[in-house]
């Protein structure tokens, strides 16, 4: 057996033999070689090329110990290629997709995110659920500000059922509200205020102004963006802030 294979086998056995066995073997190799193997373990797991039957929760604990000993990287930046990678990513706080705006890379992958956080309590569960909401919120705003693009009301309804099945009740409730905005009907002040918050791009707005003008509710945000809501049919039109 090669030295590399021995180290990887010891790492996989950490759940049974304990981390100290792996630690002692790495320490005997010197910091340079130990770091090389620790980085290879992390890269292999993140890339999906490392056989690790114990699962992502187990590997997250080993990565943390390797980092504490000064061998593994503080964090790694790598894109996700498929649903299996997303399922690993939600368990690894030190795995970044990008140093900023990484959530945008996961737009359109809401179902995979919900599946990834369905079991256990992965550290990125709340973050993943937030990305799903952000995806729907931004898609809605873009559609409402561009005639001809359909709003994501049907998709929101499907995802609401998915979120409910995994126990993400707050997200499910939000998605059901979004789905309801595709229905034709009268909108009172409370309904206008709900829409003003729910369809605002990126995040719920810290504040906004609501005014009744003729047959519409007019929402003005601090950025200068506006939302017009039909009082009698609920139809919405968004206007982006001027640059």
Helix/strand/coil (H/E/C) assignment for every residue in 202-226: CCCCCCCEEEEECCEEEEECCCCCE
Q: What is the mean pLDDT of residues 166-184?
A: 97
Chain centre distance of CA 223: 25
On the question of pLDDT at 243 being above 70, the answer is no
- Percent of the chain predicted with pLDDT > 70: 98
Strands 76-77, 95-96: pairing is: parallel
> Model pTM greater than 0.85?
yes
Q: What is the mean pLDDT of residues 149-153?
A: 92
On the question of pLDDT at 147 being above 80, the answer is no
> What confidence score (pLDDT) does residue 171 get?
98
User: What is the per-residue pLDDT across 77-94, written as a single tens digit (0 to 9) for each?
Assistant: 999 999 999 999 999 999
> What confidence score (pLDDT) does residue 231 get?
96
Burial string for 103-136 (b: 16+ CB within 10 Å, else e) reads beebeebbebbbbbbbeeebebbebbbebbbbbb
> What confidence score (pLDDT) does residue 241 get?
79
User: What is the per-residue pLDDT across 34-70, written as a single tens digit (0 to 9) for each?
Assistant: 999 999 999 999 999 998 988 899 999 999 999 999 9
Per the CB < 8 A criterion, the answer to whether 181 and 230 are in contact is no
User: What is the per-residue pLDDT across 210-237, written as a single tens digit (0 to 9) for each?
Assistant: 999 999 999 999 999 999 999 999 999 9
Position with higher pLDDT, 242 vs 239 = 239
Per the CB < 8 A criterion, the answer to whether 90 and 60 are in contact is no
The mean pLDDT of the chain is 94
Per-residue pLDDT band for 152 (boundaries 50, 70, 90) equals very high
> What confidence score (pLDDT) does residue 172 get?
98
> What confidence score (pLDDT) does residue 13 get?
86
On the question of pLDDT at 175 being above 80, the answer is yes
User: What is the per-residue pLDDT across 8-19, written as a single tens digit (0 to 9) for each?
Assistant: 998 988 865 688
User: Phi and psi (nearest 5°) for 220?
Assistant: -120, 125
On the question of pLDDT at 179 being above 90, the answer is yes
Q: What is the mean pLDDT of residues 120-137?
A: 96
> What confidence score (pLDDT) does residue 15 get?
65
Per the CB < 8 A criterion, the answer to whether 137 and 199 are in contact is yes
């Amino acid at each position: 057996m090669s030295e590399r294979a021995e180290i990887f086998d010891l790492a996989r056995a950490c759940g049974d033999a304990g981390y100290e066995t792996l630690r002692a073997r790495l320490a005997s190799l010197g910091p340079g070689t130990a770091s090389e193997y620790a980085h290879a373990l992390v890269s292999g797991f993140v890339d999906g090329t490392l056989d690790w039957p114990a699962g992502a929760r187990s590997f997250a604990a080993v990565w943390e110990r390797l980092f504490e000993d000064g061998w593994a990287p503080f964090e790694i930046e790598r894109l996700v290629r498929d649903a299996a990678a997303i399922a690993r990513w939600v368990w690894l706080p030190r795995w970044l997709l990008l140093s900023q705006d990484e959530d945008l890379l996961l737009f359109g992958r809401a179902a995979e995110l919900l599946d990834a956080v369905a079991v256990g309590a992965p550290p990125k569960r709340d973050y993943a659920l937030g990305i799903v909401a952000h995806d729907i919120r931004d898609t809605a705003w873009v559609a409402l500000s561009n005639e001809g693009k359909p709003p994501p009301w049907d998709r929101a309804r499907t995802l609401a059922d998915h979120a409910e099945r995994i126990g993400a009740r707050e997200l499910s409730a939000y998605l059901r509200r979004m789905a309801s905005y595709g229905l034709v009907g009268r909108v009172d002040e409370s309904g206008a205020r709900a829409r003003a918050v729910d369809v605002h791009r990126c995040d719920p707005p810290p504040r906004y102004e609501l005014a009744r003008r003729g047959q519409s509710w007019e929402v003005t945000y601090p950025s200068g963006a506006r939302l017009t809501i039909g009082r009698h049919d609920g139809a919405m039109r968004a206007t982006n802030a001027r640059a």
